[in-house]
Amino acid sequence: MKLLLKNMRIAETAVSDCEVSDVLIENGVISKVATSISCDADRVIDGEGKLFVAPGLVDMHVHFRDPGFTYKEDVLTGAQAAKAGGVTTVCCMPNTKPTIDNAETVSYIINKAKGTGVKVYPVGSITKGLSGKELCDYEELKASGVIAISDDGRPVENAEYMRKALEMSNDNGLCVISHCEDLNIINGGIINKGKVSEKLGVKGMDRASEDYITAREIALAMSCDARIHIAHVSTKGSVNIIRAAKKDGVKVTCETCPHYFTYTDEKLLSRDADYRMSPPLREEDDRIAVEQAVIDGTIDCIVTDHAPHSAEDKADFLTAPNGVVGLETSLAVTLTQLYHTSKLSMSEIINRMAVRPREILGLEGVSVKEGSIADLTVFDADYEWIVEPQKLSSKSKNSVFKGEKLKGRAIYTITDGNIVFELND
């Protein structure tokens, strides 16, 4: 297929606001980037100097619930949600049933993802069955297609097991991702511990649970000179710990989600379980710290921790599982909160959402340049819309941004030169 994108604003360049070019795609690869390209193409999309084109977004932290919990989401519906958000590559976490701790489950996910138009990379578990009792066979997992390892949903409670996993990562090259929440400190808490939890009369999750494990993982990584990636950063303390570690040369990277730099735990005053996730929404000082860390680059990536749950699961505020969907709103929220407020440039946003995740995971780079794989996101930064959960592609509708008016939206998603999503108003 020959696809011509005309009059597009190149989002990954520092001068993206003024650089308008045509992009020609042939056989899944960008063959030419120039002004005024004229050729016979199977399809021409004219951005009219208004639409941006960027490397396809990468969400390195999603839960597709497949296998085992497909009433919440599956690989097919999760991929559809990703495409609708301009995401061409995802990493799905291992807390499935069975756990992603064996080659058979990895193969199941990879095979089911074929033909979806989304590149789905399974994340293997650090310990078998997420039990924290026995390390997995990482060579087997890597050979079967795993790109990273994590016991996401819980920490590896035995520090020596975590240290060993980090040490082995120096040889196997797998990215080690840590869910930093000490379960003993949380001790049954369901929202952030603070004034809101006190007002609601519910047990809170002390931010020390996150800060402690963050500091532990950094110390362990230092001990064996290994890389560590900290998942979904939500506290001021973790931000400060990571920033200091980076200055000391520790090989630490990290991520956060749009809800952590947008909302605070005051959203929980509604007693709506759709605003519950792990780690939880924190307080304003934490929100500001996370936002600043995204702006200054301390936080490397913006992800979603896309965690679908059914309406029945979320019905009771006190007993509902934690987690929110986010693939379809991530770009829009980030543009609304950071680009349209002039806190980040377009190229910086694309760096956090497309470039850095590929670097951290060791994936081939994608760029709007000749010779690059044509995994692209075409979006309108000024497109205004209201998040209506029932219109989302995800099987579950537990969006923390429901009812919000956002500015920015993916219009086309292109994978290997093929249009795999097109917005139809």
Phi, psi of 93 (to 5 degrees): -75, 160
Burial class of residue 145, CB neighbours in 10 A (0-12, 13-18, 19+): middle
* 252-256 and 301-302 beta bridge pairing: parallel
> Is 382 designated active site?
no
**How many Cβ atoms from other residues are within 10 Å of residue 387's Cβ?**
18
Concatenated DSSP letters for 56-107? PEEEEEE---TTT-TTT--HHHHHHHHHHTTEEEEEE-S-SSS-S-SHHHHH
Distance between CA atoms of residues 30 and 26, nearest Å: 6
Distance between CA atoms of residues 353 and 90, nearest Å: 11
- Dihedral of alpha carbons 332, 337, 341, 347, sign: negative
- Choosing from 101, 151, 286, 305, the catalytic residue is 305
The type of residue at 375 is D
CA distances from 160 to 136, 153, 212, 214, 272 (A): 14, 19, 16, 15, 39
Supply 190's token pair.
Answer: 């369901």
- According to DSSP H, which parts of 297-366 are helical? 330-334, 346-350, 356-361
Concatenated DSSP letters for 220-274? HHHHTT--EEE-S---HHHHHHHHHHHHTT--EEEEE-GGGTT--GGGGGG--GG
Residues 308 and 323 sit within 8 Å (Cβ to Cβ): yes
User: Angle of helix 236-247 relative to helix 208-223, nearest 10 degrees?
Assistant: 20
Taking the CA atoms of the chain, what radius of gyration do you get in angstroms?
A: 21
Instruction: Give catalytic residues, as residue numbers.
Output: 305
